[in-house]
Structure 1
Amino acid sequence: MSLIATLARLEAVSTGRARPTATVRHRHLSERPLVFVPLTTAGEAGAPLGALVGTDRDAPRLLVVAQPRDRDLRFAFLAELADIVLPYIDSYADAVEAAERSETDPETGKRVKVEVELCSDAPQLIVPSRAGVEYVRLLGRSMRFRRTAEQDPQTPYPAPPRVPLLGRWLTHFGERSRVPGSSLLLALTEVLGRHWATGQSSLEDQHLGALLAWIAPPGGDSGAEAALHAELARDDKGQLLCPPAGPATDPAFDNKLLAPAIERYDRARTALAAAEDGLQADDRLGELTAAERVIHELVLSRTLPTWEKVWQGLDLLRELPEGAHVEERWTRDRWSFTGHRDRVVAGEPPQPRRDDAVTAANKLATREREQGRLDAQEALDDPLVMAGRRLAGEAFAGEVVDVVMTYSEGKRPSPRPLVTVRTDDRPHLGERVRVFRSLGGKPQAAEFVRRAGPDGAGGADGPEDEGLLVLRIVDKMGRGKEPEEGSVPEKGDRVCFTLFEHEQRGGAKLPDPEDTPWTHGGPPGEPVPETADSVTEEDTL
């Protein structure tokens, strides 16, 4: 946790309200996100009980599994979920634009630019909390390996046709959510926690009601009082007034309301199956319908408060202006969405349960690179985030007090101006350490030369002033003998330099999967021990 975040939490405790830790919004928000509020049963990992899902704030779709242990009812729930989610995804798959992408020419081995299709926009899935993201990944894993009757007529318990496809998409959303800065799948508590600091722990921030209570406490309550009420307040039946954001339910709800309702449903279903004539069947069908309606009302009572709070949180986030680099990161999400769309259309198999060594290494390298890029871009977009980097000695800002034009040695001297900056920051600078500033959206590099004296000279021949830094600009000044206009700071300018790079460098090229050595799954030519469609107990809900 940065010093700025620590100070913000202390201020939140002191003032009773959450304090902002960002001045802009660092995540993309779609104009039409799909909000998914899942609910699961206790005791069986991933067994769905119900969900509220949809893009219309005022008209959510309620999905319910009256008996979560019934495989047929679970498949019906997943099929209905697919009928909602897949059309939403498909609505973004057809609208495309022309874009250029670098690819390796198989004949020459050189990188060339080719024109390809890029989806103009991409779908966005919003869940209440971090646990919701893990549940999406679990659903994807349990669904993408399912066999349909068309694929395998002999398979026991065939899945509805669209269920495996939904599993592949949910797996992609879940995998993409692990890439720092991605916005295809967002946990609302994570996004709100990035932009506001509360007076409670990050674990307590996973309770959406408590988090919103700190950010916008109702009435004249303090954040702590409102959060405590959101966490503990119960009605006269002993049920929480603000249910947890799921997917787990409250034990009091399970024991006092849900279990008796499901038991009543089971009795009614058993009685209907044992009916001896049509009149008796009609009466017992009415009892079954009434029991099922009670379960629907119970699920709605647990999910609707969370549904409303998700949209309340989105309203708070939309009040913040979007950061300058957010659109760039969303473009990478669009590339990811387009790539998976193409793999599905091409008929490629579902994602394997375990990645091979090369794929896993590439994923890790990508996430590390994106984390570095995200940290740099958030600081460049947001002065409050940059202030944290300055306090940590990773950046400094100040006023240019002197500019001396010098040139490099050689046959063709290039401009290497010396810029003296007065700053109150204390950056961790060493000899010839490179620093960077943003110039027209591109990083301009400079080298730290020395600390100047009070008169700007200093160095080895005079006393040094900790607040005067002499830097040598080394690039982004054009190809001429004289620097291009605006490429060199002028006396009196306010500048900000960072010790971290603004763009992340790529790592070494990894071998192709078929050339992986035996230490990492080879030797080449051996059959893969596990096919993509294999099903294990862990894949079964």
Structure 2
Amino acid sequence: MSLIDNLARLDAATTGRAQPRATVRHRHLSQRPLVFVPLITAGEAGAPLGALIGTERTSPRLLTVAQPRDRDLRFAFLSRLAEILLPYVESYADDVEPAERTEADPETGKRVKVEVELCADAPQLIVPSRTGIEFVRLLGRSMRFRRTAEQDPDAPYPAPPRVPLLGRWLTHYGERSRVPGSSLLLAMTDLLSRHWATGQSSLEEQHLGALLAWIEAPEGTSGADAALRAELARDADGQLLCPPAGPATDPAFDNQLLAPAIERHDRARTALAAAADGVEADALLASLGAAEREIDALVASRTRPTWDAVWRGLDALCTLPEAPHTVDRWRGDRWSFTGHRDRVAAGEPPQPRVDDAVTAANKLATREREQARLDAQEALDDPLVMAGRRLAGEAFAGEVTDVVMAYSEGRAPRPRPLVTVRTPDRPQLDEGVKAYRSLAGKPQSFQFVTHTPDGALVLRLLDKMGRGKEPEPGSVPEVGDHVCWTLFEHEQRGGPRLPDPEDTPWTHGGPPETAATTPAVGTPPAPVGDRPDPVTAEDIL
């Protein structure tokens, strides 16, 4: 956390109002996002209790599980969830535009450009908090390996037809959410805390109601008091006025309202199963319907406040203009969505439980590269973020006071102007260190030469001046210009190419096991270290 962020938190604690941490919005927001507010049973992370889901603020779809421990009812919940979520995802799959991508030629091995399809837009999923993202990942892990009756007629508990496909999409969204700067799956608490600083800790900011209380606090009121009311205020029956559907529930709600309602549902269901005749069954069926409607009302009462809070958060974020580099990062999300669409259409198997060594290394390298890229782009887009980098000595801004034309040595001298800059910042500069400025969206390199007697900086311009003996107009800073330089690169370089998974060295587990290398029946079991990842309780709801 930068010094600017710490100052913003101190200012928020002093004034009682949230303070801006950004002047632009650093994440892409879709015109039609799908908001998903899940609710789970206390003590059982894999047992969904219900959810509100939809793309319209005023008409969400309510899904409930009257008895979360019942496998058939859970499957019915997941089937209804697939009926809502999959059509939304698939509605973006057919609208494509031509694009170019660099691939290796299978014959020569050289990198060549090929024309492919790129989805013009991608579906965006928004959950209330970070734990909602973990729940999405858990749902995907538990569903993508399920077998349907069509796939395996002998499966003991076949899943509904579209449930495994939903699991694959949720797994992809959960994995993509780990890439810094991605906007396919977003948590509202992370979005708001990225753009506003409060007097709370990062853990307290995972309560969406408390976070919004700081941001929406009217003039003359304290955000701390409003957040405390959002966290602790209860009605006459002892229930929270701002229930945390994120996706955990409040113990008072579980003990006083939910548990008795589920018990009444179970009794009505048991009595209906034991009904002696049709007349008695009709009466008991009405009793069962009343019990289900009671549970629906309870789930709606816990999720609707959070649903409204998510949309209020979207309203607050839409007041900020979108950062320029957000478009580039969203294009990366579109490539990710298009690639998974193509893998599903090609009939590829679901994502493995454990990645092989090459895939895991590629994912780690991608996340590290995207984190550095995100940090650089946010600073370039936002002067408030850049101020934090300047205070840390990672950037500096100043006025150009002198420009002296100089040339490199050699048979073909190239222009290497010396630019003198007066700056109040204290950058961490040693002789030969490179600095960069943004020129028409591209980084232009400078090299630090020396300090002048009066404390100014002398930089040598290295590139982006054209091919001629004289620099192109506008490529060299002029006297009187105010320019910002960074000591970090604007574009991150890729690392060394990793081998194909089939060529994984033995030091990293060897190539992935295939049908040809699978031991035959009767072969002694493999050593413990070589056995596949066992099925755990997280794999099955």
CA change 1:127–1:530 in 2 (3 A) is farther
Residue 477 (structure 1) aligned with residue 465 (structure 2): yes
Task: Report how far residue 540 of structure 1 moved.
Answer: 1.1
Contact 1:352-1:531 within 8 A present in 2 as well: no
2:413 counterpart of 1:425: no
Query: What is the DSSP-based 3-state SS (H/G/I as helix, E as strand, rest coil) of the residue aligned with 1:92?
Result: coil
* 2:467 aligned partner, one-letter code: R
Matches within 5 A, 1:28-427: 28-218=28-218, 220-427=220-427
CA offsets 1:183-228 (integer angstroms, 9 cap, x no match):
0000000010000000010100000000000011257421001000
CA distance in 1 between partners of 2:12 and 2:418 (Å): 44
Match of 2:498 in 1: 510
CA contact (8 A) 1:517 1:524 kept: no
Q: Distance in 2 between matches of 1:106 and 1:49?
A: 50
RMSD of aligned Cα (Å): 1.3
The verdict on how the C-alpha distance between 1:232 and 1:107 changes in structure 2, with shifts beyond 3 A counting, is same
Q: Distance in 2 between matches of 1:188 and 1:246?
A: 11
CA deviations on 1:53-78 (whole Å, 9 max, x unpaired) are 00011000000000000000000000
SS in 1 for 2:32: coil
Gaps of 5+ in 1: 455-464
CA contact (8 A) 1:145 1:535 kept: no
The answer as to whether partners of 2:46 and 2:538 remain within 8 angstroms in 1 is no
Residue number in structure 2 paired with 1:462: none
CA distance in 1, matches of 2:23, 2:536: 47
Q: What SS does the corresponding residue of 1:49 show, helix, strand or coil?
A: strand
519-528 vs 343-352, which moves further: 519-528
With 509-518 and 181-190 compared, the bigger mean Cα shift is at 509-518
The separation in 1 between residues aligned to 2:293 and 2:109, in whole angstroms, is: 64
Aligned-pair CA distance for 1:438:
0.2
SS at match of 1:407: coil
Alpha-carbon distance in 1 for matches of 2:148, 2:190: 36
In 2, are the aligned partners of 1:436 and 1:444 still within 8 Å (CA)? yes
Q: How big is the shift at 1:536?
A: 4.0
Of 471, 487, 502 in structure 1, the residue corresponding to residue 475 of structure 2 is 487
Per the alignment, in what secondary structure is the counterpart of residue 499 of structure 2?
Answer: coil
| Cα displacement string for residues 454-475 of structure 1 (whole angstroms, at most 9, x for unaligned residues) | 3xxxxxxxxxx2xx10000000
Amino acid across the alignment from 1:146: R
**Distance in 1 between the 2:423 and 2:157 partners?**
70
SS in 2 for 1:47: strand
Scaled by the length of structure 2, what TM-score is found?
0.96
CA-CA distance at 1:45 after TM superposition = 2.1
Determine the C-alpha separation between the residues in 2 that align with 1:162 and 1:115: 32
Counterpart contact for 1:416–1:473, Cα < 8 Å: yes
* Per-residue deviation, 1:535: 4.8
Cα distance, 1:537 vs structure 2: 3.2
Aligned equivalents of 1:514, 1:134: Cα separation in 2: 31
Query: Match of 2:442, as an amino acid?
Result: K
The CA deviation at 1:249 is: 0.4
1:530 CA displacement: 7.0
SS of the equivalent of 1:40 reads strand
Q: Secondary structure at the match of 1:45?
A: strand
Is the 1:86–1:166 Cα contact (8 Å) retained in structure 2?
yes
Map of 1:25 onto structure 2? 25
Aligned-partner residue type, residue 492 of structure 1: G
Q: Deviations over 1:292-334 (max 9, x none)?
A: 1100000000000000000000000001000010000000000
The answer as to whether partners of 1:218 and 1:226 remain within 8 angstroms in 2 is no
Q: Deviations over 1:369-402 (max 9, x none)?
A: 0000000000000000000000000000000000
**1:79-134 alpha-carbon deviations (Å, 9 max, x no partner):** 00000000000100000000000011111111110000000000000000000000
Alpha-carbon offset, residue 246 of structure 1: 1.6
User: How far, CA to CA, are the matches of 2:511 and 2:387 in structure 1?
Assistant: 51
CA distance in 1, matches of 2:406, 2:430: 21
Residues 218 and 264 of structure 1: is their aligned pair in 2 closer, same or farther, counting only changes over 3 Å?
A: farther
Distance 1:393 1:228 in 2: 38
Secondary structure, counterpart of 1:37 in structure 2? strand
Counterpart in the other structure of 2:522? none
Summarize deviations over 1:420-458 as a string: whole Å, max 9, x none: 00000000001100000000000000000000123xxxx
The answer on whether the counterparts of 1:436 and 1:497 sit within 8 Å (CA) in structure 2 is: yes
- 2:353 is paired with a residue whose SS is coil
Q: Residue 450 of structure 1 aligns to a residue in which SS?
A: strand
Aligned sequence identity (%)? 78
Partner of 1:444: 444
Work out the number of aligned pairs and report it: 528
Shift of residue 517, structure 1, vs aligned partner? 1.1
2:521 aligned residue: none
Question: Residues 524, 283 of structure 1: CA spacing in aligned structure 2 closer, same or farther, 3 A cutoff?
Answer: closer
State the TM-score, normalized to the length of structure 1. Answer: 0.96
Q: What amino acid is aligned across from residue 112 of structure 2 in structure 1?
A: V
User: Separation in 2 of the partners of 1:88 and 1:294?
Assistant: 29
Structure 1, 212-221 or 183-192: larger mean CA deviation: 212-221
Amino acid at match of 1:494: H
Offset at 1:538?
A: 2.7
Secondary structure, counterpart of 1:175 in structure 2: helix
CA contact (8 A) 2:501 2:511 kept: no
Q: 1:504 is aligned with what amino acid?
A: Q
Q: Give the Å deviation of 1:519.
A: 1.5
Task: Letter of the 1:483 partner, please give it.
Answer: P
The letter for the 1-side match of 2:359 is T
How far apart are the structure 2 equivalents of 1:321 and 1:485? Answer: 31
Match of 1:461 in 2: none
Instruction: Give SS of 2:458's match.
Output: strand
